[in-house]
Amino acid sequence: MKNRKIFQLFMPDTKIYLIIIAFLIFFLSLYNHWLGIFGVFLLVFLIYHHLKVHNLKKQEWEKYMEGLFSDIDSATKQAILNIPIPFTIVELDGTIHWYNGKFIETLEEKNIFGKNVEELVPDIKIEDLLEENRKGEEHKAFINVQVKDRHYKLLYNIARVSEENMGNRKYIMVLYFIEISNYERLKKKYNEEKLAIALVQVDNYDEVMQDTEEERRPLVTAEIDHRVKRWANSQRGFFRKYTTDKFIVGFEAQYLEKLEAKKFEILDQIRKIEMGNKIPITLSIGVGTNGKTPLEIADFANAAKDLALGRGGDQAVVKKNDYISFYGGRTSAVEKTTKVKSRVIAYALRRLMDQSDNVFIMGHKNADMDALGAAMGVYRGAKNREREAYIVLNESNSSIERLYNKAMERKDYRRDIITCEEALSKMERNSLLIVVDTHRPSFTECPEALKLTKNIVVIDHHRRVTDFIDETVLTYHETYVSSTSELVTEILSYMDSRMNIDEIEANALLAGIALDTKNFSFKTGVRTFEAASLLRRAGADTIEVKQYFQDSIETILNKSEVLKRAEIFREEVAISISEDGDNPQLLAAQAADELLNIKNVTAGFVLGKKGDGEIFISGRSMGKINVQVILEKLGGGGHLAVAGAQLQDSSLDSAKEQLKEAIEEYFQEGDKK
């Protein structure tokens, strides 16, 4: 820097001085020629001296700059060699071209020159880095990588270099490793110590106590409390019992992973209690975590518990913000013998009807006998309250064709069975919308109607899924009942002093029960027969109900073909493909029922393809295997004995393999318990 200042001081711009001297010599020569000639010689000497000095100083300056660049180059090399972070230079195929000492220390290996960096650090994918670079993400953090027990943030830079011996240009990649091990350890510790709340409820406490001898009841209660408390202590959590059948458990989130790995074994431990109780005891557990505040975590836990109860109980549901996972749920829900809730729901529904301007009832798309039967039952209940009522049904299908045609013979049904568009035009702010046989918004006959009123009632018996209609004024969701028609029958019996329905509604409700119980073979409890008895007294004709389910000779032959193609998987599961019929979904459902008639088969699945190419699966079970849990793995749902699923962008063969994988996973999960 000192030399540079000296050079600047002694390097004035002398050209202007020479020009001035030249002008002075010119004017001097006008007065004296000899002085002018002398001045010319002097000017020439000055010019020569200027050029000589200028060239000399230029050479000294160039020498100084060369030395300076040499110093900078040396300093740069030393900085690169001694940089305190690991970095390496690789070819675009990942081959290591150069590395510094810190990189060797990080890998704890020798002789890595020429090796591929992806082999040494598997988290690095050169192709992904190049793809990001094409998108303009150069110089940005791309991924976090782990080397041994250390964590690094990977930064990269792609540079173009020249190699004279190659005679062309090429690119190299520089990878920088910024260590973030302390941050990752702190992050892990934070996640492990976050709060998790579990709300535990005994599903069938009243039924268990009712069927247990009085002197044994305290023992049963004490054993439940003891096992739940011991389970809480194993997570080093706190335990509080706040009602006779409900508990709250708090623990650190690090223990949740162990609970999930063991599939919440407390469910099996409680079920094995035998202290004089005649009914197996089951729990519903809702776990919430990953919330921003304790209040939000508690809300997650409560929502998870409601979901577990809505799916039939005997299971645990974990809600981590928007992510929900399910464990257990392999047993059928225990029937509740008391009808108190039915009576309360009936009174509440009657009051809502009386307060509404009109009533709209709708089931699910592609309505079956249970959906239409339940809708017709609620319709008659609304008419009995002298309310204007409508059934929303866009079109009939082969599964309800006979009942639909029978209803359309009547003037009131011809007028009041309307399409979705008609319903939207008639709905008012004070309208009451009653959804039957489904609780999923997207599955309803008219999803748009859910947005036009806040007076929504849901009556359903399917096991609850994550997307449900949550903004309701009344929900009657019982998974232990055979069908929605059974629920509606009980409601109608309490809405008036006596059941006031016509023969067609009685037949429709009985047909709905018969469909979902497979003619009173599956999921049939005492209350199911009581409901059938009420309908029989109300005028239901069993012969006519039987005729609702008659099939054409073509349908029967097509079902025979499906049975002929059946494959037995894992000795007790039958799988087949439906490729015929005008209504492949109905055929698949009926064929799945028929598969259960095969000896030793406890579950049956039939796959088919719609006209638009969508693959659907119908699952049926005798109760031992939970087909809902299996088909939920493929994005479907339903309940223990009846479930379905739809697959997009798949073929029948591919869907069949996915189904087998889901069944295999289901059995493996059961074997681990």
Q: How many angstroms separate the CA atoms of 513 and 487, rounded?
A: 10
| Residue 49 in marked binding region | no
Q: Rounded to 10 degrees, what is the CA torsion of 606, 610, 613, 614?
A: -60
List the beta bridge partners of residue 643: 619, 638
| Residue 245 in marked binding region | no
Distances from the Cα of 168 to the Cαs of 94, 161, 164, 591, 628, in angstroms?
Answer: 20, 9, 7, 70, 64
| Residue 97 in marked binding region | no
**Treating both helix axes as pointing N-terminal to C-terminal, what angle do 553-564 and 584-595 enclose, rounded to 10 degrees?**
60
Q: How many angstroms separate the CA atoms of 285 and 267, rounded?
A: 9
CA angle 428, 431, 432 (to 5 degrees): 155
The 3-state secondary structure of 324-385, one letter per residue: EEEEECCCCCCCCCCCHHHHHHHHHHHHHHHHCCEEEEECECCCCHHHHHHHHHHHHHHHHC
| Residue 368 in marked binding region | yes
| Residue 151 in marked binding region | no
Query: Closest by alpha carbon to 622, among 650, 594, 660?
Result: 594
**Treating both helix axes as pointing N-terminal to C-terminal, what angle do 369-384 and 340-355 enclose, rounded to 10 degrees?**
60
Alpha helices in 166-319 (DSSP H): 181-192, 205-210, 217-234, 256-261, 266-271, 294-310
Q: How many angstroms separate the CA atoms of 172 and 93, rounded?
A: 9
Q: How many angstroms separate the CA atoms of 162 and 170, rounded?
A: 7
Which backbone phi and psi does 525 adopt, to 5 degrees? -115, -175
| Residue 461 in marked binding region | yes
Binding-site entries for Mn(2+): 364, 368, 370, 437, 461, 516
Annotated binding site: 364, 368, 370, 437, 461, 516
